[in-house]
Structure 1
Amino acid sequence: MSITLLQIETMSAAEKLGEAFLAHGFLVKVQGDRLIFSPGNGLEDMNVVRKILERAGVPALYNGWEIQILVPHIPNHLALSIMKKPKRRANYYIPYGYHGWRGFTKRNHGLRFNTLNFDPGIALLLKAMSEAGILVTGGCDGHEQKAPRIYFASRWAMAWFEILRERFMQRLDLHYKWEVDILTSGSPSLYALKAEDEGWELKKIQHDTVQMALILHKHAVSLRQVRRDTFKFKSMYLDAKNLENNYHALYSWMKEILKQRLEKL
């Protein structure tokens, strides 16, 4: 996500807008003059995007999750203003059973978070995790005062993320070390660690969260299917509940179940 001034100057309008919306936390890719938004975005997100473009005077055609940009170029300051658009606080509904074993095994998709309700990098990672079937409930970038953190719906969801991270994210070039929190009695979470003499930097936090988000987004469909095919509500319920409060044993159990399933393929 580190874009140079020269790269910005040579980008088309669609490319600039795609980078801007991605930097703000929208799941989007660019194909020619089209912005293609993922259904993993929040229910309000397309209305928000349309209002932003209309207020900026950017001519476009809207077709569901796709937007065709009808001009070849836009000024740089417009893309920057989208990146810096402030978030707004809002409550959101977490359905019954979302935190339980049934929710972990049965739900195909996590919550669909509205982008502007969260800090930019956090919003993107939350939505990518949900799209990949990793059940999360929220998060915060720490505002350069404390560690950024993502909250999982359950310890099963946290263990599943850690298994996927081991398989897909080992080679990511991240600024901070990201760990799962297994010590507190509160909500299970993913948080960043820094050196004692180091400060928090939003650019570095967003770089890390975007890298993790993009790899999950890339494999989202297959990851959802693997989780649902591997973990079963009824036959595994007792083991899952018995291991819930012993994270290391839970992680090892889930990892072994996945290994056994993959060996049969």
Structure 2
Amino acid sequence: MNILNLELMTATEKVAEALIMRGLFIKVKDNVLLFSKCNKKNDVKDVQFVLNQLNIPFIMHGEHGLEILVNQMPTIKMKKILTAGGDPFSIDAAAYHQYWRFFTCRNYGFRINTFQLEYNMARFVKAANLAGIATYAGCNGHLKKSPRFQFAGPFMAAWFVAVKQRYFQDIKLNYDWKVVYDGFTGAELLATSKQGWCQHKIHEDTLKMAFLLETHATEIRDIKEKCFKRTQKNITRKWVDKKDYTALENWMMTIAWGNEDVINKNGLTRKTNNMAI
């Protein structure tokens, strides 16, 4: 988006754009910002707080609608909305999140307050959870270390690998993002770079991945529910116990997509119904 386009935007359009890039699920109808129920309840209150701090007048339309009361707004305030919040918070990584049962029974991920998350991590975290890939949080690395997201255990991470293989083939990213089975949550999506870090490029990558997850969220949830059952526990647990996560990823891809490359490489059968028992 170039500077001219920004200057021509109304205050409502600027606020909406900033909030979307900040990670909130909203749409604009009749000049009113409508907050999706996929947001956490505190998200709307946090938006009100930020707008008040920036002296941007608004009125509420019920619990989930907000109208900006000025036509124009300085572009700098858009950046301040975008970068608001992001304070450190503790992750509630319960032990049962690591279990196959949690993976198969959890249709959605977690609802996390958007303004708790760092601004260039938030959209991906929210989108992954919307797609049923339970994700606690993300750290942008603060230009000192690799940016990363924390998945709720190895099964969620392996499923993300399968989803990435299916839906991310045609997007060009600034960094190489790979799942590593490490960290206190058991699995992370980690970026690597040989040229240092740029927060704008990190944000660009996370938004691209987030919007793809959102576009296919319903389909991803439906396929996960259809393909993976609690009765497969013994099949999957052995790979986690042996830390053979590649085998787990390949099995998930074959079950979900019938991937020819995975089948040929690992000698797996196409009879996915038999494999799922």
1:222 pairs with 2:246 = no
Q: Output the amino acid matched with 2:197.
A: W
CA contact (8 A) 2:147 2:190 kept: yes
Find the aligned partners of 1:229 and 1:68 in 2 and give their Cα distance. Answer: 41
Q: Which runs of 5+ in 1 are unaligned?
A: none
By how many angstroms is 1:95 displaced?
A: 5.0
Find the aligned partners of 2:168 and 2:224 in 1 and give their Cα distance. Answer: 17
Q: Output the amino acid matched with 1:151.
A: Q
By how many angstroms is 1:59 displaced?
A: 2.2
1:197-236 equivalences in 2 (<5 Å)? 198-233=195-230, 235-236=231-232
2:17 to 16, 19, 34: 19
CA contact (8 A) 1:243 1:250 kept: yes
Secondary structure of 1:104 counterpart: helix
Q: Which region of structure 1 is more displaced relative to structure 2, 46-55 or 243-252?
A: 46-55
User: What is the aligned-residue RMSD (CA, Å)?
Assistant: 2.3
CA contact (8 A) 2:91 2:136 kept: no
Higher relative contact order (CA 8 A, sep 6+): 1
1:116-265 equivalences in 2 (<5 Å)? 116-182=115-181, 184=182, 187-195=186-194, 198-233=195-230, 235-244=231-240, 245-259=243-257
By how many angstroms is 1:54 displaced?
A: 3.7
CA contact (8 A) 1:60 1:68 kept: yes
Alignment CA distance shift 1:193-1:229 (3 Å): same
Once the two structures are aligned, what percentage of the paired residues are identical?
31
Q: Output the amino acid matched with 2:49.
A: K
CA contact (8 A) 2:85 2:116 kept: no
Q: Number of matched residues?
A: 258
Q: Output the amino acid matched with 2:39.
A: N
CA contact (8 A) 1:59 1:70 kept: yes
Find the aligned partners of 2:86 and 2:257 in 1 and give their Cα distance. Answer: 41
Alignment CA distance shift 1:144-1:236 (3 Å): same
1:108-119 equivalences in 2 (<5 Å)? 108-119=107-118
Report what 1:104 is aligned to: 103
Q: Output the amino acid matched with 1:144.
A: L
CA deviation vs aligned residue, 1:147-180 (integer Å, no higher than 9, x gap): 0011111211111111111111111121111111
1:62 pairs with 2:58 = no
Q: For the pair shown, which has the larger CA radius of gyration, 1 or 2?
A: 2
By how many angstroms is 1:19 displaced?
A: 1.4
Q: Which runs of 5+ in 2 are unaligned?
A: 259-269
By how many angstroms is 1:192 displaced?
A: 0.7
Report what 2:261 is aligned to: none
CA deviation vs aligned residue, 1:17-47 (integer Å, no higher than 9, x gap): 0111123232333345132333333331111
1:3-82 equivalences in 2 (<5 Å)? 3-55=1-53, 56-82=55-81
Find the aligned partners of 1:149 and 1:217 in 2 and give their Cα distance. Answer: 19
CA deviation vs aligned residue, 1:214-257 (integer Å, no higher than 9, x gap): 11112222222221121101x21110111222111111111121
Report what 2:263 is aligned to: none
Alignment CA distance shift 1:169-1:29 (3 Å): farther
Alignment CA distance shift 1:112-1:208 (3 Å): same
By how many angstroms is 1:92 displaced?
A: 4.8
By how many angstroms is 1:213 displaced?
A: 0.8
Find the aligned partners of 2:169 and 2:30 in 1 and give their Cα distance. Answer: 32
Moved over 4 A (4+): 260-264
CA contact (8 A) 1:107 1:133 kept: yes
